[in-house]
Chains A and B, each alone.
Chain A
Amino acid sequence: MGIKRRQYWGLIFVLPAVIFFALFSYLPMINSFIASFHSKDIISLKAPVFVGFKNYIHIFTSEDFINSIKATIIFAVGCFIPLVTISLLIATVIVSLRRIPWIQNLFKMIYYSPSIVSGVVSATIWLLIFDPRGLANQWLNFIAGNPTPVDFKWLALPAMARLATIIIYFWKYVGYFVIIYFAGLVSIPQSLYEVADIDGASGWKKFLSITIPLLKPTIEFVFIVAFIQCVRTFSIQYVFVQSGSPREPINVVSLNIYTTAMQYHSLGRSTAMSVSLFCFILIFTIVQLRIYRSERVSYV
């Protein structure tokens, strides 16, 4: 009886969160799914018209959406690999500074601080740096020793616009993943390293045989979160396009969803893109989880 009553109270406490998520997350998701089978202009008072799979057929046969998939893959790969690897290296270096805690804390703060700045603000700050008269050109010209300044056209050339968005994203999120890796690294028992030292293991050997296997749950989390973040990128590309950068090279799927809804007013096509993106992320995440779960290691 006592157990049942506790369960009842648990349900009551959880109910507000369930209602909140149902109203603000699940309901819009279901609505989006339904809307993706309809044709609807977002400001029109006319009722939506059921069009079946027409929106899906249209987006997957349009050059524009295919280009968006390409732009998203280039961005995600260009961002994901440095994010998950360099943040691990930085976290390892910070953990090694455990004997000087104030420096350790200072580095954690320095790396983490950009991640609390909003995407729009980050992009606006970096736009000044990438301006033809900005610091990016000045630094590169200084490093290259160019006698007359060269304009690297950070915001104008397709490849440079892609690189610029990747740099901003990396700068913004690397600290977030450093902190997650840091938390995972400090939770590895120190005694395992001490035993390895007695056995004469090298630093690299300890990293490969102790750190990486025991950090797998953290790595799994970082890989999934970083991938989802990279695929859902929007605000940096939006600010760039608003500032005159060419849309095509950085027209990631999220930006295309926004443009299709807010500028082309086509709610059906934009929700079809959203549902497609959601399915892609879901499938990829399930695959990633399956792979990682089959490789879990425990030394306990």
Chain B
Amino acid sequence: MRLLKVSTICWLMLACTLFVFAAGEQEKAAKPLQIVQWTHEDPNRTPLEEKWIAEFQSEYPNVRVVRETSPSGKIKEKVLTAFAAMKGPDIFNLEAEDEWQYIVSERVAPVDLEAVEYSSYEALRNEYLPVTFNGALYEGKVYGMPMEITNWCIYINNKYYREVGLDPAKDYPKTWEQMVTVAEKLTIREGEVIKRRGFDFRYPYYLAFFVPMANQLGGTVLTPDGKSAAVDSPAWIKLLRYMADWGPNGHNLGSPTYTNARKTFNRDDNSIAMCISGLYQYDRIKAENEAFLPEVSVVPYPRFEDAVNDNGAAVYGHYYMVNSSSSPEVQEWAWKLIKYFTSHEEEFLDQVGLIIPSKKLLQTDVYRNKKFADVFIEDMRKSNFIMTHESGPKIQDVIKEMVEGVMLSNIPPAEAARRGKQKIDDILGM
């Protein structure tokens, strides 16, 4: 009898559950279409995108956008984990070198030309500078709309230059060899402990700042046929020696273990005199510490004295991409929303310092009046797009190990290069 009661209760519970699911299905039909966007934290961009989302939603009440942000260092893993589990947001953006693997793996959809109102991919590309789609163009199709295309230059705190008797307008480092001398003058140490770094690199973005240094010396990551690694060439060994000398066991000018130079630079707290960053840094300083702006100047990325190529830091970007697993209807509205975002390129540049290099933007006063934009664009014209390879992030990780090995673990440059080549060859053969 008791068993009968228990079984009746179980059946009733099951019936209730089914009823709830059925009601959910009906509700789903009445709900507005939802688009989930994942992006990295950017305090200047957030209010702009939130404003545009509100405008978009009021124009199209059938669409609801959920915008979620994550720290820059975490979003890569978050997106990867979600895609590995066959989930993921409808719209996301990562650095171009990280996005490439999603394109090659067919996890993102090509741009919906009808939704973004272009007749062909060629017509879309013609609206922008030629370099713009280098990180999103695959087998004739474009897989992302540019949120930002940028490169890095050197930000200088003029006050510290003057403090050590240097003129920031004339004495800034034009070569990496001069960088050692200038940084040494600006560095303040107490015993072996660095109190103020003259300059430090932007670890661990090795594809963006380090590979271009190797390119200057004639080095490349891969052999011309792309089948094996070329990181054991004399150019790489020379560069690794330079980094070993830079580190705590050499001239003790900086280290990957110190706080990110770009972050502390904005504080103007006597902890760093120069750092590497993009044009967006200027607006971040404006937002965080506006009083510091008059003391900031920007100079081109240095070259090696015996450089064989005159390139600056890598040109890279963030593209808005759409998940190929999202429903066709969601994909269509996602591209419409992206089109709405990217059509505001003047506000992107003016308020966030992000360059969407459309030909239209370069004709505007906003671009002409943007402080230091000319320094970045001039260096960008001479530079290469960041390495886009389906194993790009893995290769970057190997380069990180090579550089940190010579800087921190006293591994001889030739040995670090040998191990790096072996690992990259292994990745290519996976």
A→B interface (CB under 8 Å): 39, 41-45, 62-64, 131-133, 137, 141, 146, 148-151, 153, 155-158, 242-249, 259, 262-266
Contact = CB atoms under 8 A, between A and B. Distances in A.
B190 A247 contact: no
A45 B401 CA distance: 29
Q: Classify the interface of chain A: helix, strand, loop or mixed.
A: loop
B423 interface: yes
B408 A43 contact: no
Give the interface size bracket for B toward A.
35 or more
Given A137-B193, A149-B190, A156-B408, 14 more contacts: A39-B430, A43-B83, A43-B105, A156-B407, A158-B409, A244-B257, A244-B404, A246-B405, A247-B400, A247-B401, A262-B77, A262-B81, A263-B393, A264-B430
A245 B248 CA distance: 12
A44 B256 CA distance: 32
A235 B430 CA distance: 27
Nearest to A249: B409
Nearest to A128: B259
Contact of A42 (B80, B255, B430): B80
Contact of A64 (B193, B203, B252, B423): B423
Given A43-B101, A248-B409, A266 B192 contact: no
A151 B84 contact: no
Given A156-B255, A158-B409, A150 B192 contact: yes
A78 to B, nearest CB: 18
Interface in B381-430: 393-394, 397, 400-401, 404-405, 407-409, 419, 422-423, 426-427, 430
B328 interface: no
Contacts of B204: 244
Interface in B254-272: 255-259
Contact of B73 (A151, A155, A242): A242
9 contacts: A43-B107, A131-B259, A141-B191, A151-B194, A155-B257, A157-B409, A244-B256, A246-B404, A263-B394
Nearest to B195: A133
Given A133-B193, A151-B248, A247 B423 contact: no
Interface in B69-124: 73, 77, 80-81, 83-84, 101-102, 105-107
Nearest to A158: B409
Contact of A151 (B106, B191, B409): B191
A259 B106 CA distance: 23
B102 A43 contact: yes
A263 B397 CA distance: 8
A2 to B, nearest CB: 13
Contact of A149 (B102, B193, B397): B193
